[in-house]
Amino acid sequence: MNLGSGGGGADALARAMTDASLAERLALASRSIAGRLVFTTSFGLEDQAVTHAIFRAGLDIHIEVVTLDTGRLFPETYDLWAQPEERYGRRINAVSPDRSDLEALVARQGINGFRQSVEARKACCDVRKVEPLGRALVGAAGWITGLRAEQSSFRAAVPLASQDDGYGLIKVNPLADWSQQDLVRYVTDNAVPYNPLHDRGYPSIGCAPCTRAVRLGEPERAGRWWWEQEAKKECGLHLVPTHQIQEHSHDQRA
């Protein structure tokens, strides 16, 4: 199976991935998508599992592993970054914000101006994450992520693979149907290194100023941009098709 960039090709890949293991799903993607594949890791538990599967199977000859270094990550995240590089003898390439854009943002907002409004926060995410992601995906035919449907109501419709019209490529989410229990079991069984913040109540980890530990009973992503009232905790990297947003809109109300 060799897929073009059409939605039908993505649907076929998703069907083929359904009963496969994580390593098999990644291998299917690497064989099926003609062109450059990019996996973007933010070093969360999901991303660590995918990184392990890619490196252990030697799939990094087909899949480039990159991270968006926002400049405001937790010290624990930077320490974790080094661990898979040392364990597997591979490099995880960094894509950083454009210097001029970042300097202009800080001059306009102040260093922590993202707390002034949702619009200000999204402007910060655009400079530190969205624009660098666009550069990381230039020329790519496939984008691999660590998204899981269980992470939030906004992500509940995440498929194993789909056509991403915004970036003009096939987006592959090999953990889309995994539960938290599935994920923890995989990480434990394979002794995958993970961020110690997960053991301190941080199920979802982003930039340090924008992430807190969650409280008992809170959703997994409640600790992201916790000062905001809206329920959709997203930075703009992952855009869901309009019809999927409408189908799940009743779950997204504050």
- What pLDDT does 242 receive? 32
More confident residue, 3 or 56: 56
Residue among 9, 4, 1 at smallest CA distance from 161: 9
| Of 74 and 155, the one with more pLDDT | 74
For 3-21, what is the mean pLDDT?
Answer: 82
Q: What is the mean pLDDT of residues 16-40?
A: 97
* Single pTM value for the model: 0.86
Residue type, 95: V
User: In angstroms, what CA-CA distances link 235 with 74, 221, 249?
Assistant: 17, 12, 18
Which band of pLDDT confidence, cut at 50, 70 and 90, is reported for residue 248? very low
Average pLDDT of the chain? Answer: 88
Name the residues annotated as catalytic: 235
Give residue 197's pLDDT: 97
Name the residue with tokens 């992201």.
224
Percentage of residues of the chain with pLDDT beyond 90: 78
Check whether 152 has a pLDDT greater than 80. no
Q: How far apart are CA 219 and CA 203, in angstroms?
A: 9
The confidence band for 156, taking pLDDT boundaries of 50, 70 and 90, is: confident
Judge contact between 34 and 141, C-beta under 8 A: yes
pLDDT at res. 252: 31
Length of the chain: 254
Q: What is the pLDDT of residue 7?
A: 54
Q: What is the DSSP string of the chain?
A: --B-SSHHHHHHHHHHHTT--HHHHHHHHHHHB-SEEEEEE--SHHHHHHHHHHHHTTGGGTEEEEEE--S-B-HHHHHHHHHHHHHHS---EEE---HHHHHHHHHHH-TTGGGS-HHHHHHHHIIIIIHHHHHHTTTEEEEE----GGG-GGGTT--SEEEETTTTEEEE-TTTT--HHHHHHHHHHTT----GGGGGT-SS--BGGGB-PPPTT--TTTTBTTT---S----SSSPPPHHHHHHTHHHH--
Structure token pair of residue 20: 């496969």
Q: For residue range 209-246, what is the model confidence (pLDDT) as tens digits?
A: 999 999 988 888 889 988 887 655 555 565 543 333 33
Residues 20-46 have a mean pLDDT of: 97
Task: Give the pLDDT of residue 46.
Answer: 97
- pLDDT, tens only, 63-107: 999 999 999 999 999 999 999 999 999 999 999 999 999 999 999
Cα Rg, the chain, nearest whole Å: 18
d(CA 10, CA 169): 9
pLDDT, residue 93, reads 97
Position 182, amino acid? D
- Whole-angstrom distance, CA of residue 123 vs CA of residue 105: 8
Instruction: Give the position of tokens 């990480």.
Output: 187
pLDDT classification of 8: cutoffs 50, 70, 90: low
The predicted pLDDT at position 157 comes to 80
